[in-house]
Amino acid sequence: MTSQAFGKSLRLLNASDFQAVFDDPPFRASHKHFLILARPNKLSYSRIGLVIAKKNIRLAVKRNLVKRLIRESFRTRQQNLGGIDAIVLARRGMDQLEKTEIRTQLDKQWQRIAKKALSKPKAEL
């Protein structure tokens, strides 16, 4: 059984990691309330970064809830994603959605990213 822990190694921690994904993400999955940008990494596991702006989600309680939901969604899907670096950007109105709706939409978008990432050979990127 593989571990589904969410340690520090599974997060994008510094600006250069984020910038590499922002510069030219070959995989995108867009939704009205969030955007996922991703690119292959040279690791055997996936990493995630979050951009949850106060401008888009005003209350800290709501921002923290959204972050927890995104991390949990990623943690449960990380085995299916292969070696990618992904950034999730929250858009205005995400805090208005129900938890179940956020989970459902995130799962759909992770499936899209996984399908794109696994269908494109690394040599093309």
pLDDT in tens, 50-84: 999 999 999 999 999 999 999 999 999 988 888 99
Q: CA of 43: how far to CAs of 40, 46, 56, 66, 82, in Å? A: 8, 7, 32, 27, 9
Q: How many residues appear in the chain?
A: 125
3-state secondary structure of 42: coil
In-domain check, residue 123: no
Q: Tokens 């899209």 sit at which residue? A: 112
**Average pLDDT of the residues of the chain:** 90
Specify the pLDDT at position 18.
Answer: 95
- Asked if residues 48 and 74 have their Cβ atoms less than 8 Å apart, the reply is yes
CATH of the domain at 19: 3.30.230.10
In-domain check, residue 4: no
In-domain check, residue 65: yes
Q: How far is CA 39 from the centre of its chain?
A: 11
What is the extent of the structural domain holding 40? Answer: 9-116
Specify the pLDDT at position 5.
Answer: 67
pLDDT in tens, 36-57: 999 999 988 999 999 999 999 9
User: How many domains does the structure of the chain reveal?
Assistant: 1
In-domain check, residue 1: no
In-domain check, residue 49: yes
9 pLDDT band (50/70/90 cuts)? confident
In-domain check, residue 122: no
Specify the pLDDT at position 119.
Answer: 81
Element (H, E) at 66: helix 60-81
